[in-house]
């Protein structure tokens, strides 16, 4: 019986010739990730594993990004706890605010810390992002993070898989965000529960690396254990240009077993919006109706890369944000911020009436930099629109691409670019 791409990576890291869906394994880890919310809990659990030092100070990454720069005393305490642990353990990949900082899932690929064939865990659900470069990566709890830091291993139940076959080419103003929202709308928020979303098909050549990161990032919104893309020329070019270690390339067997196959034709895909209060509540932009909005957020680990900034700036250039709308732009990393500044994108945003932030998760998880009041509506390029996710429980979040978000900021209501 053949194996999927994910199963091959897990088998290699478990020291096994093969693994199968449902099997429990112990696997060695190439990277363990934590942020300022989850790492302090893991630090508290770390001594219980009987280790004085982390298993490898170069294979731990700690990123203060959720409530950083610190928004209050509690946030400052959390960041200080992580900072002190990083110094005491001499952890190489600790990224301080202002010093090559950024939102973790945009930052790690940018820094070349993830590569094809890796096995990665992170105490954050969107750790599945790194499947874009052909890695197995998944979110875990803080106790599992502590175990990973201490031992360099953790346990997995080998996931089954859904094959997502992509054909065609995107039409103008359609992107990876529309693809993943469409897919979640098709299968639901639990449609891939504890399975791997494995992407295939000739249409993948039309996807930029930014598209792939966005899609893999939101695999968790379909309940998936991970999302993963095959390694192609675009992947290799990205990894080489970001100084990642040599990739180890795995490909699914021809007789790999899938729970089901979902086919998506990019030629027919429209800009897509997820209405409150679940990512599965999707509609093509033509069916959105007349929804007036109060706020737009362009950024996050889902859509805060330089390509996203360029798309938004192209639409906003020379225009003004609607007077009833607050538009908040958050480049995902310091490098993205600097590139956007050098290209004049930040000036375009500022002249249009946008607020441009330092890299942070900010309002995505209801942190700060754009919390919603009762009854307010927001179009966001973030990944979740649960009740109260960005503020008041009676506020509303509409998930969309940077193109739709930018156009909506100008119009004051949800519109196509």
- Coil, strand or helix: which one is 282? strand
Would 286 be classed as within a structural domain? yes
Question: Looking at the predicted structure, is the pLDDT value of residue 361 above 90?
Answer: yes
Hey, what are 322's tokens? 């609607």
122 and 256 assigned to the same domain: yes
Burial class (CB in 10 A: 0-12, 13-18, 19+), 128: buried
Q: What is the per-residue pLDDT across 138-182, written as a single tens digit (0 to 9) for each?
A: 999 999 999 999 999 999 999 999 999 999 999 999 999 999 999
Contact criterion met (CB below 8 Å) for 271 and 284: yes
pLDDT, position 99: 83
User: Residue 180 maps to which CATH number?
Assistant: 3.30.499.10
76 and 209 assigned to the same domain: yes
Q: Average model confidence (pLDDT) for the chain? A: 96
Query: Could you say which of 264, 292, 315 is where a domain stops?
Result: 264
Would 416 be classed as within a structural domain? no
Q: Domain tally for the chain?
A: 2
| Angstrom distance (rounded) from CA 37 to CA 142 | 10
Query: Could you say which of 242, 264, 286 is where a domain stops?
Result: 264
97: containing domain: 5-264
pLDDT, position 235: 97
Would 71 be classed as within a structural domain? yes
pTM beyond 0.85, yes or no: yes
The sheet with strand 272-274 has its strands ordered as 282-284, 272-274, 396-399, 377-380, 295-299, 326-330, 355-356
Question: Looking at the predicted structure, is the pLDDT value of residue 230 above 80?
Answer: yes
Place 32 in a pLDDT band, splitting at 50, 70 and 90.
very high
Q: What is the per-residue pLDDT across 37-77, written as a single tens digit (0 to 9) for each?
A: 999 999 999 999 999 999 999 999 999 999 989 999 999 99
- Coil, strand or helix: which one is 60? strand
Question: Looking at the predicted structure, is the pLDDT value of residue 1 above 80?
Answer: no
175 and 85 assigned to the same domain: yes
Would 417 be classed as within a structural domain? no
Omega of the bond prior to 162 within 30 degrees of 0, cis? no
pLDDT, position 188: 95
| Angstrom distance (rounded) from CA 86 to CA 57 | 9
Residue 155 neighbours by CB distance under 10 Å: 12
258 and 333 assigned to the same domain: no
Query: Could you say which of 264, 286, 317 is where a domain stops?
Result: 264
């Amino acid at each position: 019986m053949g194996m999927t791409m994910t199963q091959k990576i897990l088998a290699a890291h478990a020291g096994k010739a093969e693994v199968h869906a449902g099997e429990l394994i112990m696997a060695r880890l190439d990277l363990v990730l934590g942020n300022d919310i989850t790492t302090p809990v893991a630090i508290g659990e770390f001594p219980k594993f009987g280790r004085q030092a982390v298993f490898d100070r170069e294979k731990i990454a700690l990123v203060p990004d959720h409530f950083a720069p610190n928004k209050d005393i509690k946030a400052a305490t959390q960041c200080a706890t992580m900072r002190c642990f990083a110094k005491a353990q001499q952890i190489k990949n600790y990224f301080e605010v202002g010093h090559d900082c950024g939102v973790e899932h945009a930052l790690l690929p940018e820094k070349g810390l993830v590569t094809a064939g890796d096995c990665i865990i992170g105490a954050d659900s969107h750790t599945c992002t790194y499947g874009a470069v052909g890695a197995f990566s998944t979110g875990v709890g803080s106790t599992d993070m502590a175990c990973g830091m201490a031992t360099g291993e953790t346990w997995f139940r080998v996931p089954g898989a859904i094959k997502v076959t992509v054909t065609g080419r995107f039409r103008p103003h359609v992107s990876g965000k529309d693809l993943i929202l469409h897919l979640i709308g098709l299968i639901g928020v639990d449609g891939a529960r504890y399975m791997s979303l494995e992407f295939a098909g000739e249409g993948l050549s039309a996807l930029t690396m930014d598209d792939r990161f966005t899609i893999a990032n939101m695999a968790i919104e379909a309940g998936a254990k991970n999302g993963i893309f095959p390694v192609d020329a675009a992947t290799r070019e990205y990894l080489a240009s970001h100084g990642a270690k040599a990739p180890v390339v795995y490909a699914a067997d021809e007789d790999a077993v899938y729970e089901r196959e979902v086919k998506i034709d990019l030629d027919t895909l429209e800009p897509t919006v997820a209405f409150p209060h679940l990512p599965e509540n999707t509609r093509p932009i033509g069916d959105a109706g007349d929804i007036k909005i109060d706020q737009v957020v362009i950024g996050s680990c889902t859509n805060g890369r330089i390509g996203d900034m360029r798309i938004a700036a192209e639409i906003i250039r020379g225009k003004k944000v609607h007077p009833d709308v607050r538009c908040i732009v958050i480049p995902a990393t310091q490098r993205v911020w600097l590139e956007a500044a050098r290209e004049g994108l930040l000036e375009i945003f500022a002249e249009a009436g946008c607020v441009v932030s330092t890299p942070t998760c900010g309002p995505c998880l209801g942190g700060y930099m754009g919390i919603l009041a009762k009854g307010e509506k927001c179009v966001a390029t973030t990944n979740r629109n649960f009740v109260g996710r960005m503020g008041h429980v009676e506020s509303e979040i509409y998930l969309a691409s940077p193109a739709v978000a930018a156009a909506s900021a100008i119009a004051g209501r949800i519109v196509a670019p």
